[in-house]
């Protein structure tokens, strides 16, 4: 049983529930003004290979909450650019480190592997007594999964509907939505279908033809649903997916095939090829501008009052862009809920940090 948290599908149901329970208890203590600090000293190293707002600050907040100081690894200021290996870097930054958080979601087929390599390097360092502690590795978003996001989503759903047990049979539409940009990672929708299908929910993955996710993860979601007593289906009809849904999650992503091409071009530093791919991908996106979460679609949901969800930032029509994922009216109506959804992330990350170190409630206070 690994202390790392690289993907929800690597964790047992009991581990998932344990982390969620701990996250809720940490949140309750925080809002109750009670202390949570568990470490007297130590670092929480962060490695961000892509931009971030919510996850970056959630990680820093979580580290501070449990008593760790954040140190962000800037590859441009390190010896990595001089050929330092993953083995060496991982051990050199970990002498007094308790947690390493990594965001590496740009290259399909690369980010998750880098996290696994880092974990193996730390295993070696701890086994050979180079390191006093084996730092916990937390996935802050990879090309495959975004566990801190999907776990926050799940905790939000549990609290909204009255508990994890109340989610069984609930219908959720994880839908592609139009965006005037391309290249958005697959990890959010993959994380959602990979986790929520384990709760007995009825999950519909909706996208225009050709916008599929990593095939193995779609198959895993189907298997999860079969095991949990839930349902998983794929639809190419956004309205059909929204019909009768208890919750909707309209979010843009790039097609799997586009991300494969993009990775190859990025690896070759083929700027002209990337520009041509972007042009082609955006032209394809433009064919599906009607895939917007608007008032008419929301009226199709259960009682016309389904919970709207988004990992943020959302492409809001008429606000952040001319045409986007969600209408301004729908987003404004559910703004508090989406912000609450995001607010669970620091507590989920703090729980992952403590769970990985076998530091769980009750606290020593």
187-237 confidence digits (pLDDT tens): 999 999 999 999 999 999 999 999 999 999 999 999 999 999 999 999 999
Pick the closest to residue 297 from 269, 268, 329 (CA basis).
329
**Which neighbouring-strand residues pair with 248?**
173, 308
Helix or strand (DSSP H, E) at 295? helix 295-298
Q: Do residues 124 and 69 touch, judged by C-beta distance below 8 A?
A: no
pLDDT computed for residue 359 by the predictor: 61
Give residue 364's pLDDT band: very low, low, confident or very high (50, 70, 90): very low
| SS3 letters across 126-186 | HHCCCCCCCCEEEEEEECCCCHHHHHHHHHHHHHHHCCHHHHCCCEEEEECCCCCCCCCCC
- Please state, rounded to an integer, the average pLDDT across all residues of the chain: 95
CA-to-CA distance for 175 and 193, rounded, in angstroms? 11
Residue 363 pLDDT > 80? no
pLDDT in tens, 32-52: 999 899 999 999 999 999 999
* Residue 219: Cβ within 10 Å count: 11
Helix 187-196 × helix 215-228 angle, to 10°: 20
The pLDDT of residue 226 is 98
Q: Write down the pLDDT at residue 360.
A: 52
Instruction: Determine the Cα–Cα distance for residues 331 and 274; give it in Å rounded to an integer.
Output: 32
pLDDT digits (tens, 9 = 90+) for 277-309: 999 999 999 999 999 999 999 999 999 999 999
Give the per-residue pLDDT at 83.
Answer: 78
Residue 153 confidence (pLDDT): 98
Checking if the pLDDT of 253 tops 50, the result is yes
* Closest to 73 measured CA to CA, from 267, 266, 59: 59
Instruction: Judge residue 167's burial from the number of C-beta atoms within 10 Å of its C-beta, 0-12 exposed, 13-18 middle, 19 or more buried.
Output: buried
For residue 1, what pLDDT is reported? 55
Domains of the chain in start order, with CATH, are 8-143+345-356 (3.40.50.1370), 149-333 (3.40.50.1370)
Per-residue burial over 87-100, b = 16 or more CB atoms within 10 Å of its CB, e = otherwise: eebbbebbeebbbb
CA 44 to CA 59: how far, in whole Å?
A: 9
Q: What is the pLDDT of residue 137?
A: 98
List Cβ neighbours of 51 (8 Å cut-off, separation of 6 or more). none
- pLDDT tens by residue, 85-110: 999 999 999 999 999 999 999 999 99
């Amino acid at each position: 049983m690994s202390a790392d948290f690289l993907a929800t599908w690597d964790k047992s149901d009991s581990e998932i529930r344990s982390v969620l329970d701990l996250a809720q208890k940490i949140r309750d203590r925080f809002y109750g003004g009670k202390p949570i600090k568990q470490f007297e000293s130590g670092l929480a190293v962060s490695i961000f290979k892509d931009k971030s707002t919510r996850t970056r600050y959630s990680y820093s907040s979580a580290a501070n909450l449990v008593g760790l100081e954040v140190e962000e690894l800037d590859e441009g200021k390190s010896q990595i650019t001089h050929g330092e290996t993953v083995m060496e870097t991982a051990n050199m930054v970990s002498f007094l480190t308790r947690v390493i958080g990594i965001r590496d979601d740009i290259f399909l087929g690369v980010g998750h592997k880098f996290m696994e390599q880092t974990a193996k390097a730390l295993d070696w360092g701890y086994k050979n007594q180079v390191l006093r502690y084996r730092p916990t590795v937390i996935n802050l978003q990879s090309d495959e999964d975004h566990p801190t996001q999907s776990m926050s989503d799940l905790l939000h759903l549990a609290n909204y509907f009255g508990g994890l047990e109340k989610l069984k049979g609930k219908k959720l539409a994880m839908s592609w939505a139009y965006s005037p940009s391309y290249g958005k990672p697959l990890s959010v929708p993959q994380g959602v279908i990979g986790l929520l299908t384990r709760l007995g929910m009825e999950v519909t993955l909706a996208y225009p033809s050709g916008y599929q996710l990593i095939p193995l993860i779609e198959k895993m979601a189907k298997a999860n649903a079969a095991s949990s007593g839930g349902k998983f289906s794929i639809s190419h009809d956004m309205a059909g997916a929204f019909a009768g849904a208890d919750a909707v999650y309209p979010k843009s992503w790039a097609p799997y095939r586009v991300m494969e091409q993009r990775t190859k071009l990025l690896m070759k530093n083929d700027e002209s090829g990337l520009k041509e791919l972007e042009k082609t991908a955006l032209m394809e996106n433009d064919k599906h501008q009607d895939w917007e979460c608007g008032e008419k679609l929301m009226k199709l949901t259960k009682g016309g009052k389904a919970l709207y969800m988004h990992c943020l930032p959302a492409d809001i029509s008429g606000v952040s862009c001319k045409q986007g994922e969600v209408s301004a009216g729908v987003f404004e109506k559910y703004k508090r809920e989406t912000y609450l959804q995001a607010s669970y992330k620091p507590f989920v990350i703090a729980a992952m940090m403590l769970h990985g170190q076998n530091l769980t409630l009750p606290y020593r206070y």
